Structure 1
């Protein structure tokens, strides 16, 4: 980025960072934005993330005081909605693939107005389109409509961006297709292609898991593989089994589907919960905390379920093994149908409680929760990139948990052959080879719900009957060479991210407007006929020139200051001509009558007192309504 800023990089404007999950790629947008905006190469930064739960996390990265001090930057970005002026006077904004696809013209207009650094997080989610795929291997087939719509909406932003930073934990897609915008060349074998790491105008930053382990940037992993057997009814309602999970590929799909919905899942969940309790007890003793006393660095458990129905069943089992008091806050659910899912994710990341989070897919990718020490992998998905992302939730170094040597990620999983194959490849370098989709054989086990990851339809019509756990064995992946590395220090409290500050200021404005409504109704400056809150909000919008939903933090703060010094009722004339709010016009024309028992003179005196008395504020004492 310094070379681009100084001009030494020439025409280089595309940077690809292939960083192992958990390797710290979320700091790269901070580095890029701080260097390029300071140098005048870019005016703003737009950071696009794959899911809504990551927007606030990206916003917090810019507000982190430690990174501000380390990089010497004072930039702020906001988690934007699809509303005009997404930056609101800040240095950029964070949005999602879905948001860009829903309002492509809004984001395109923003990129036309200013020079942008565009950051695309987890770019492997975006399939290459026929007109953007440099390999020319042809259009997308059916089944990738949603992701293709993301690519079509984001492609014009890539073309307009001043500099592009593409981030990913893998350079391959599960469907074998190319990734949007990446340069490809013919592979060494027939009908293969690979990312062209030497393409002109590109810089490629690689950080493998082996390198991250050597520098102690991520934790080594211990896998707890639990074998079992299962019985089910096939499509013809004939009993099948028992069959081992670790048995032949021919029965693995049905055996795993059954195991995740019957007793085997309960046994694996119990093992993970017991391991988490032992870990928390050990660390609590080292930290000198009393039993039950909340604290940071004790270790947490992430449970990844196959679908929402079973996620709720797993949560009920976890609650059943906890004391009744406090278990609702100690173990929480984060699925797309839960109204408080994002709050649960934020609490799991930033607070001592909850110590257990049960999810399906919301927390598997990009979740920055270093206190996650144990993962219960109760999912049927066996895509290598997906599993790498899930396992990486536990490999982040926890700055509160002691020395690096004292920490380790622990992953419990079914001991099926496909997970075992993934585990054996975990330490290998992530390759850039991707077969042409037309000639590519799909991997085994196309489990139901793999595309949406929330589906819960039965597997090929089978009916799960029974399963049980048999043997548990542990395998630890070697951490690699022992090189010294500086551990991150405990973070200070984060500054309020812009979106949080905006919500707080909007709430404060609402309180001030509501207070003025009550005061003005008591002083008979407004009729007690309802609708006054909306009437005064309309006045405020006309006074300030825009609605509070369109304001940035600085404008909202100015609005609060204005409301603390002025009365909205003094500006009702701004509503003249608007038939929705014609009370003031009717009052001035003599068409409004005071309530029975109050004379017009008394009303006028009350109104005058409201205008002039008490420092410009009417009395709030309650009188008779007549």
Structure 2
């Protein structure tokens, strides 16, 4: 590998590099050698990882270190965007056919093209870029085989490529398995990206060891906000201080009524599921109304601003799109069932349509910087998914779009993830405040650790009691349609709960406000 020169790094590209991209580029050019052929860039969603990858590929081709670029991504939309960036930076065709300097495929397509790509890598010096690397599961040297199909394909292809560049904002897997090709070290601290060592023959102390991933370069959300690369996320969790659940005993017909001061409190009921709550008309429409209200305010200053609703499934997405259209909103519905879904998504990027409704097609890797509001109605409650969705709205366009907004229900797991995100914010911006729904200004400061499930309070915080005792937040209950939720059997007893909410939800717990100098 040739040594890095300042002239190489200062070469002109269609878009100037951000400082973090230039630093990562220099480090990658210095560290990629036949002895260390793998490089992991961990950068917050929205920071511009694909631009970095394209410039690195261009540098390596210009220096004669590689002949061909192979890109792998999770979806067709992500792959198409990557091809655009690679072509823009290198000025070379990336269609994968005769005469091209590169090719791009989804991970799913990799299995069908593995043999021909192996042959290509044996004939040319290839750089492999694998984006959103957490989709592939590998195995450690002493582990049982936990590889998934994509991980196995990567391992089979890797031995034939010259270099690999892994990109991810969340480089860990929810199932705890390792990512292939990357470097792990033993650690006694549990991390989201950690993978336990085998327990056979180990002592209790040794069993606590984990494999901690070691990225080659890290660019955090804190750095991205301070560098004005990403918007400041204002995460607002919606709750209700007066919830009533009515259940009927199927044998006696006796009606039982329970009162709850918060959504976490309600979710302790054995028959109540979060996925059911998302489809209840009152919390769902309230979240959508709050999101629409916020987007309207943003569009007064920025007519291009748009909002994203992440639904739980296709039927849910269609219901949400119908609701928004009934209230006069223009909606782009993009699901795997939508005709020409990828073309619709690409068209949405360049229009002024205010709302995009999807399930999973835009959860990661999709670059639509005009998205500034997100309504999270997905039943998936993992930190990885939560951060990936947040990444869709934090991509900054200019100096006038410093903030973005995410609305979700005050569910304990989502609250915990929101708390962890505040840990990644600059200290002077990580303010936790309580705001009433009728005002955009904070109503009261809440301690930074209030209501955190880790505190051992089971999800019911002091804020729950405060809300229930404050008559201003507990108005008379108004009639509402009783939605019969599909209940789970409990100890052989079938119940069919109906839930109604007070007519005033509150925005609580996480409302990140810009500090004022």
Q: How does 1:133-152 map to 2 (within 5 A)?
A: 133-134=140-141, 136-140=142-146, 148-152=148-152
CA distance in 2, matches of 1:253, 1:54: 39
Match of 2:129 among 95, 111, 119: 119
Match of 1:219 among 226, 231, 237: 231
CA distance in 2, matches of 1:164, 1:56: 20
Contact residue 246 and residue 417 of structure 1 kept, 8 A: yes
Where does the alignment leave 5 or more consecutive residues of structure 1 unmatched? Answer: 79-85, 141-146, 198-202, 285-297, 431-443, 446-456, 483-626
Larger Rg: 1
TM-score when scaled to structure 2? 0.71
1:149, distance to aligned residue in structure 2 (A): 1.0
* Pair 1:475–1:162, CA change in 2 (3 A): same
User: What whole-Å deviation, never above 9, does each CA across 1:167-208 have from its counterpart, x for those lacking one?
Assistant: 1112321111111121222212543323353xxxxx701001
CA distance in 2, matches of 1:246, 1:253: 13
Partner residue of 1:411? 406
1:52, distance to aligned residue in structure 2 (A): 1.5
Partner residue of 2:220? 208
Partner residue of 1:88? 98
1:4, distance to aligned residue in structure 2 (A): 6.7
1:88, distance to aligned residue in structure 2 (A): 2.9
**SS of structure 1 residue aligned to 2:414:** helix
Which moved further from structure 2: 111-120 or 185-194? 185-194
1:236, distance to aligned residue in structure 2 (A): 7.2
CA distance in 2, matches of 1:347, 1:8: 38
TM-score when scaled to structure 1? 0.59
Partner residue of 1:307? 313
CA distance in 2, matches of 1:120, 1:459: 43
User: What whole-Å deviation, never above 9, does each CA across 1:409-460 have from its counterpart, x for those lacking one?
Assistant: 1111101222111111003359xxxxxxxxxxxxx99xxxxxxxxxxx9675
**SS of structure 2 residue aligned to 1:17:** strand
User: What whole-Å deviation, never above 9, does each CA across 1:111-153 have from its counterpart, x for those lacking one?
Assistant: 2222110000011111113xxx23x22122xxxxxx7111111
Match of 2:91 among 52, 56, 74: 74
Partner residue of 1:245? 263
* Pair 1:386–1:37, CA change in 2 (3 A): same
Q: How does 1:149-164 map to 2 (within 5 A)?
A: 149-164=149-164
CA distance in 1, matches of 2:45, 2:248: 38
1:8, distance to aligned residue in structure 2 (A): 8.9
User: What whole-Å deviation, never above 9, does each CA across 1:227-260 have from its counterpart, x for those lacking one?
Assistant: 1347476997997755431326634993522221
* Pair 1:233–1:8, CA change in 2 (3 A): closer
Q: How does 1:475-514 map to 2 (within 5 A)?
A: 475-477=510-512
Equivalent pairs counted in the alignment come to 405
**SS of structure 2 residue aligned to 1:412:** strand
**SS of structure 1 residue aligned to 2:423:** coil
**SS of structure 1 residue aligned to 2:357:** strand
Partner residue of 1:43? 67
1:74, distance to aligned residue in structure 2 (A): 2.2
Q: How does 1:253-272 map to 2 (within 5 A)?
A: 254-263=272-281, 264-272=283-291
Please tell me whether residue 342 in structure 1 is matched to residue 342 in structure 2: yes
Report the RMSD for the aligned CA atoms in angstroms.
3.2
Partner residue of 1:601? none
* Pair 1:253–1:181, CA change in 2 (3 A): farther
CA distance in 2, matches of 1:12, 1:480: 44
1:273, distance to aligned residue in structure 2 (A): 1.3
Please tell me whether residue 470 in structure 1 is matched to residue 488 in structure 2: no
1:32, distance to aligned residue in structure 2 (A): 1.5
User: What whole-Å deviation, never above 9, does each CA across 1:477-519 have from its counterpart, x for those lacking one?
Assistant: 367999xxxxxxxxxxxxxxxxxxxxxxxxxxxxxxxxxxxxx
**SS of structure 2 residue aligned to 1:138:** coil
**SS of structure 1 residue aligned to 2:166:** strand
Match of 1:316 among 295, 301, 322: 322
CA distance in 2, matches of 1:230, 1:26: 49
Match of 1:57 among 62, 73, 81: 81
* Pair 1:359–1:5, CA change in 2 (3 A): closer
Contact residue 302 and residue 375 of structure 1 kept, 8 A: yes
* Pair 1:252–1:377, CA change in 2 (3 A): farther
**SS of structure 1 residue aligned to 2:178:** coil
User: What whole-Å deviation, never above 9, does each CA across 1:245-303 have from its counterpart, x for those lacking one?
Assistant: 1326634993522221122101211211122122212334xxxxxxxxxxxxx310100
Contact residue 259 and residue 466 of structure 1 kept, 8 A: no
* Pair 1:8–1:15, CA change in 2 (3 A): closer
User: What whole-Å deviation, never above 9, does each CA across 1:10-69 have from its counterpart, x for those lacking one?
Assistant: 7332111011111211112212111111111110101100112211111111244xxx4x
CA distance in 2, matches of 1:306, 1:265: 12
User: What whole-Å deviation, never above 9, does each CA across 1:309-345 have from its counterpart, x for those lacking one?
Assistant: 11000000010011xxxx6xx3111111112211221
Partner residue of 1:195? 212
Partner residue of 1:171? 171
* Pair 1:467–1:304, CA change in 2 (3 A): farther
CA distance in 2, matches of 1:398, 1:4: 27
